Amino acid sequence: MATQKLDPKKLEEAASKLRAIAHPMRIAIIGLLERKNQMNVTEIYETLKIEQASASHHLNILKTKGVLDSRRAGKNTFYFLKPHALEQIIDCINRCH
């Protein structure tokens, strides 16, 4: 299954993806969303007791890396785990021994 050679570009992407996820606050956000399905930014930053801008920033990183997706509903933006994204990452990690 494995491709023959190490592709530096893909490697860089994967490294940056895992590195981005491996951050305490972002892991906390993922943890929240594993339980609550979806939350808006205010709920998230109040629950985690961080600045609103900081929450938004972390959310954007997780979205960029394909872990989360968001949906706007009026004034609120709801964030939620992208289906299967977490599974894939966990698979990846388990292979990385």
What count of other Cβ atoms lies within 10 Å of the Cβ of residue 91?
11
Smallest gap from Cβ 66 to DNA, in A, equals: 16
Q: Which of 27, 53, 92, 93 binds DNA (CB under 7 A)?
A: 53
Choice from 3, 74, 83, 94 touching DNA (CB under 7 A): 74
Decide which of a second copy, DNA, none touches 40; Cβ closer than 5 to 8 Å per partner kind: DNA
User: Which residues fall within 8 angstroms of residue 21, CB to CB, at 6 or more apart?
Assistant: 27, 30, 62, 65, 67, 89
- Asked if residue 73 binds a second copy (CB under 8 A), the reply is no
Distance CA 12, CA 20 (A): 12
Q: Are 17 and 66 in contact (CB under 8 A)?
A: yes
Across the strands, what pairs with 40? Answer: 78
Q: Write the binding mask 3 to 22 for DNA: x where contact by CB under 7 A, - elsewhere.
A: -------------x--xx--
Please, what is the minimum distance in Å from the beta carbon of residue 20 to a second copy?
Answer: 8
Quick count: other Cβ atoms within 10 Å of Cβ 42? Answer: 13
Binding site for a second copy (CB under 8 A): 1-3, 5-8, 10-19, 21-22, 24, 27, 30-31, 34, 66, 86-97
